[in-house]
């Protein structure tokens, strides 16, 4: 059946849902008092644009698959070369627009919002406004974006000899703006892949097991009390550095920001403890059992999803190591080897339209959830240094900007890992090709189903149409082999970190049960003096 308005209507619905989910999450996280409406709206829109790219991936695959009559292994009668070109060109333009907006957000909008919110409460600088300083500082990453675009568009790449595979040769045919955008996408994807290693990898291994082995509620309260006491001690130490009245106005900008972050965390911990203490003796056992069971089931599903995802990636990486020409061709292959578990699941879901869409979106949102989980546990920072806390109702604007930055740069990296984990689905979807001709000279395997095969990159281009997203990713990998080698190596690191995380989580010692002294501390925690 010809691709009509249904997939585009679904895409519009998913895009609106993505913007709604992004806005809801940001509003859920933002500080209840110290928030900035401009920052909240901006990062919500930025995250929504990233999620709209995620939503376009399964729509892209469905539309190119709909051009093929999978029962006979040939194109539908309506899918002429002109019609297919119009479809693929529309999708390609949409990708370029979205990725271009993503680049502007990463290199221009988010840096500006971070510098603006960070300098908004700076009372030391009497010569420039936060707006002027934000424009000046954000001009640096914006200039870097322009330079990278020019480098990508005009740099002389090492000569890549044409091969006897038309698909590889087609990756070399592109104009200046395409090479520039491809280069930028590659840069953002590589940065996102680093975030996947540092945040998503351990989050995948830990989040599911954490839900399965959920700590007792009282133990959480003890942790809250300990954290609250530590925060109060840090606040006291800062005040002691500036004795006398109006200490906050006399603080250095760095100390003032640290104090604001600590005060925000203190309020969050106090509110959390206050709302949890009354429930110590009044929890309904049946509701508590249902909640714990639901968390355990959710943990099992998340853990299973993570295992399938990582095993599928490792299977493809091994296959590419054995059958590709190595770094010379960026570890790319023209035919698919063993079908991965995720590939089989998505292929089955594609035959029931929208099931594969749900699976793809769940994996993407799970990735963002892992980033949130890790930043909530270990703080929001840069290069291993925690600068801010991330928690519902107490996240400062700077932390929202950093969290959103990590989430949106991870989207192109997630797309790359999806292409590794489910290569057949991500490249051709359900398209098939018939290897025999009927009496009229057309491909038709109605009577010879044994000659019906899934499309490969070596298949005739008039029968098999690769998805646009697989072509975009393969283009920046193949035209710059350094990208291909780097991505392949970091993908292995990602899988290794996940495996190490699982082992560490399983074998990590559990805390001892609470004794009566701890229980007494919880009961009387609300009477602890506020500082």
Predicted pLDDT at 443: 87
Please enumerate, as own/partner, the contacts of 486-492 that have beta carbons within 8 Å and a separation of 24 or more.
Answer: 486/190, 487/189, 487/190, 487/193, 487/330, 487/416, 488/317, 488/320, 488/330, 488/331, 490/190, 490/193, 490/194, 490/197, 491/193, 491/313, 491/317, 491/416, 491/417, 491/420, 492/317
* Residue 275, both tokens: 């709302």
Confidence (pLDDT) at 63 = 92
Could you read off the pLDDT of 341-385 as tens digits, one per residue? Answer: 999 999 888 877 678 899 999 999 999 999 998 888 888 876 566
* Cβ(204)–Cβ(306) below 8 Å: yes
CB-CB neighbours of 386 under 10 Å: 13
Distance CA 461, CA 455 (A): 10
Res 481: pLDDT: 72
- Give the closest residue to 100 by CA, choosing from 194, 183, 41: 183
- pLDDT at residue 99 in the model: 94
Which pair of tokens denotes residue 418? 């999806």
**Which stretches does DSSP call E strand in 73-214?**
74-75
Whether the CB-CB separation of 491 and 317 falls below 8 Å is answered with: yes
> Which comes out higher in pLDDT, residue 121 or 504?
504
pLDDT for residue 137: 86
Query: What pLDDT is attached to residue 528?
Result: 41
Q: Which of 162-166, 185-189, 323-327, 462-466 has the lowest mean pLDDT?
A: 162-166
Q: How far apart are CA 62 and CA 7, in angstroms?
A: 8
Over residues 402-460, the pLDDT tens digits come to: 999 999 999 999 999 999 999 999 999 889 999 888 777 788 888 888 888 889 888 88
Number of Cβ within 10 Å of residue 100's Cβ equals 16
Question: What burial letters (b/e) apply to 352-367, b meaning 16+ CB within 10 Å?
Answer: eeeebbebbbebbebb
pLDDT score recorded for residue 40: 92
Closest C-alpha among 27, 92, 19, 85 to residue 55: 19
With tokens 């979205």, the residue in question is 98
Residue 278: its pLDDT value, please? 47
pLDDT value, residue 253: 64
pLDDT at 249: 60
């Amino acid at each position: 059946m010809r691709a009509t308005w249904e997939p585009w209507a679904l895409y519009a619905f998913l895009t609106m849902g993505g913007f709604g989910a992004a806005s809801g999450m940001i509003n859920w996280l933002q500080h209840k008092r110290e928030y900035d409406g401009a920052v909240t709206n901006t990062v919500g829109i930025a995250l929504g644009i990233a999620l709209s790219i995620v939503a376009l991936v399964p729509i892209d695959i469905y539309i190119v698959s709909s051009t093929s009559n999978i029962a006979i292994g040939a194109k539908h009668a309506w899918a002429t070369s002109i019609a297919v070109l119009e479809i693929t060109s529309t999708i390609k333009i949409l990708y370029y627009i979205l990725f271009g907006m993503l680049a502007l957000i990463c290199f221009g909008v988010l840096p500006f919002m971070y510098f603006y919110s960070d300098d908004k409460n700076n009372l030391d600088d009497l010569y420039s406004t936060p707006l002027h300083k934000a424009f000046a500082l954000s001009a640096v990453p914006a200039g870097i974006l322009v330079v990278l675009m020019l480098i990508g568009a005009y740099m002389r790449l090492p000569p890549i000899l044409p091969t006897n595979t038309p698909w590889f040769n087609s990756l070399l045919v592109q104009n200046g703006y395409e090479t520039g955008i491809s280069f930028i996408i590659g840069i953002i994807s590589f940065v996102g892949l680093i975030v996947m290693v540092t945040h998503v990898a351990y989050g995948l291994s830990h989040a599911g097991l954490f839900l399965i082995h959920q700590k007792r509620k009282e133990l959480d309260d003890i942790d809250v009390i300990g954290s609250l006491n530590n925060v109060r001690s840090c606040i006291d130490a800062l005040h002691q550095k500036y004795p006398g009245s109006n200490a906050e106005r006399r603080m250095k900008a760095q100390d003032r920001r640290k104090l604001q972050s600590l005060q925000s965390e203190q309020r969050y911990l106090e509110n959390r403890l206050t709302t949890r203490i009354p429930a110590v003796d009044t929890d309904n056992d049946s509701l508590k059992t249902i909640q714990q069971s639901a968390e355990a089931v959710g943990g099992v599903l998340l853990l299973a999803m993570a295992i399938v995802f990582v095993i599928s990636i490792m299977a493809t990486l091994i296959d590419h190591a054995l059958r590709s020409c190595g770094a010379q061709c960026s570890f790319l292959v023209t035919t698919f080897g063993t079908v991965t578990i995720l590939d089989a699941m998505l292929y089955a879901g594609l035959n029931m339209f929208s099931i594969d869409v749900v699976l793809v979106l769940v994996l993407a949102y799970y990735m963002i959830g892992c980033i949130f989980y890790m930043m909530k546990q270990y703080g929001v920072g840069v290069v291993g240094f925690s600068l801010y806390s991330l928690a519902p109702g107490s996240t400062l604007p700077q932390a929202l900007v950093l969290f959103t930055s990590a989430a949106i740069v991870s989207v192109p990296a997630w797309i790359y890992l999806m292409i590794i984990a489910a290569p057949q689905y991500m490249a051709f979807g359900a398209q098939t090709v018939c290897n025999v001709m009927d009496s009229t000279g057309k491909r038709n395997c109605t009577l010879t189903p044994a000659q019906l095969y899934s499309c490969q990159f070596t298949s005739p281009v008039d029968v098999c149409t690769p998805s646009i997203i697989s072509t975009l990713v393969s283009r920046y990998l193949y035209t710059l082999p350094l990208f291909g080698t780097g991505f392949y190596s970091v993908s292995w690191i990602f899988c290794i970190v996940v495996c190490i995380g699982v082992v560490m989580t399983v074998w990590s010692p559990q805390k001892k049960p609470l004794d009566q002294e701890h229980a007494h501390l919880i009961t009387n925690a609300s009477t602890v003096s506020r500082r």
